[in-house]
């Protein structure tokens, strides 16, 4: 956790499973209520096509 002047200005949550490691860098100020909203969200991302070029090239 990074702090400045007594306020949190960033953190790095890490989640580890047997064959998967997730690291998220969060920069900027936030509050606990905002973090709880993110944790409780049902947002899902499909990154299976990440980096794929359009047009099949």
Residue 24 lies in a domain: yes
Residue 54 lies in a domain: no
C-alpha 17/C-alpha 7 separation (Å) is: 31
Residue 53 lies in a domain: no
Residue 52 lies in a domain: no
Residue 50 lies in a domain: no
Expressed as residue numbers, the domain containing 35 is 2-44
**Contact by Cβ (8 Å): 24, 11:** no
Q: Read off the pTM.
A: 0.47
User: Which tens digits make up the pLDDT trace of 8-42?
Assistant: 788 888 889 999 998 988 888 877 787 788 778 77
Residue 22 lies in a domain: yes
Residue 57 lies in a domain: no
Total domain count, the chain:
1
């Amino acid at each position: 956790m990074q702090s400045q002047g007594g306020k949190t200005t960033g953190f790095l949550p890490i989640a580890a499973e047997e064959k998967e490691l997730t690291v998220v860098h969060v920069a900027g100020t936030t509050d606990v209520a905002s973090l709880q909203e993110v944790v409780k969200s049902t947002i899902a991302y499909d990154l299976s096509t990440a980096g794929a070029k359009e047009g099949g090239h």
